[in-house]
Amino acid sequence: MANIGIIGAGSWGTALTVLLANNGHSVCVWSIVEEEIRSLQENYEHKDKLPGVSIPRSVTFTTDLEQAISGKEILVLAVPSPFTRSTAQKMAPFVKEGQIIVDVAKGIEENTLMTLSQIVKQEIPVADVAVLSGPSHAEEVGRGIPTTIVIGATTRKTAEYLQGVFMSEVFRVYTSPDMLGMELGGSLKNVVALAAGMADGLGYGDNSKAALITRGIAEIGKLGVKMGGKAETFAGLTGIGDLIVTCASMHSRNRRAGILMGQGKTMEEAMEEVHQVVEGVYSAKAALALGKKYGVQLPIIEQVNLILFENKPADQAVKDLMLRDKKIENPDMDWN
């Protein structure tokens, strides 16, 4: 049994709390929001973010960050990506040398173009930082619906230790040394999921969705490999696997926001209606900047940026994508 601190009590933090507590671990959940912690202590259910999912009575809750961190073998950092750096800064004074921190959010910081694990390592240099990613909507994980996921770490020892902690009969865990590829796949797929939602909002069909997913992973993989990620990662659970579920599911806040924008709402209106952090909006500019930095064309991500930040109509963006210059699908193939 491990002592685990969950830093962040949103839907994903709550779902992982349920998973880890059911695995027999001692779990303490932290939130900066006193009302949220009080409700969790009274109800053992997150009525706002994960209604209907019961939290085991063994779990404790606190607004005291030092209490959530002290004496824990593992810290699970589950705050939304825009708050990763500020939360890591608050955590730093209480973190011991070699502390395992598993970041489970997905995003790229806009002004630095850093992945979340890079941010955590910068703010907490003494930590052993790992990531968890894959097709895993909190609404399903919290209810024990089977899924598979990947733990990325800098050492095999840490990855295999965490694999044993998280793995259960409904949560199969693989390991990977390619943390960069995992994080790029998990972050950039949210931008493509916005596009998939827009296509749904415009009333397009399955052909359109399949095309977006396929060309979307091509963009993600091309950029990711150029940055140092592994092609196999983008063909796996944290690449195409995560992209499929995020583009297809109504649990996806990115897809839901995209649908609303496809129906004519502004980015601000869509985010307000979804009432959760829409990670793809925060990663879109960073994704485009990475494409420019590494000399990789990202036509879908470029059009999403124009829709989000320059009020381009979604239907016009689709037309512009369809009428781009003619291409060969795989330029590296020879005609022989």
8-65 pLDDT, tens digit each = 999 999 999 999 999 999 999 999 999 999 999 999 999 999 999 999 999 999 999 9
Nearest C-alpha neighbor of 63 from the set 9, 120, 4, 123: 9
CB atoms < 10 A from the CB of 82, how many? 16
pLDDT given for residue 223 in this prediction:
97
At residue 252 the predicted structure's pLDDT band, cuts being 50, 70 and 90, is confident
Among 259, 293, 292, 306, which Cα is nearest to 278's?
259
Beta-carbon neighbour count of residue 54 at 10 Å? 12
Tell me the CA end-to-end span of the chain in Å, nearest whole number: 59
**pLDDT score for 336:** 78
Confidence band of 286 (pLDDT split at 50, 70, 90): very high
Q: Which of 125-134, 191-200, 264-273 has the lowest mean pLDDT?
A: 264-273
List the alpha helices (DSSP H) in the chain.
11-22, 34-43, 65-69, 84-91, 116-123, 138-141, 156-166, 179-201, 206-227, 231-234, 242-248, 253-262, 267-274, 279-294, 299-310, 314-322
Q: Report pLDDT digits (tens) over 183-226.
A: 999 999 999 999 999 999 999 999 999 999 999 999 999 999 99
**Per the residue annotation, which of 49, 72, 106, 189 is the catalytic one?**
189
Counting residues of the chain whose pLDDT is more than 90, the rounded percentage is 84
For the chain, domains (ranges, CATH) are: 3-177 (3.40.50.720), 180-322 (1.10.1040.10)
Q: Is the four-CA dihedral 292, 294, 296, 299 of positive or negative sign? A: negative
Query: What's the mean pLDDT in 116-125?
Result: 98
CA 190 and chain centroid, separation = 8
Q: Any bridge partners for residue 75, and if so which?
A: 5, 101
CA-based R_g, the chain, Å? 20
For the question of residue 285 being annotated catalytic, the response is no
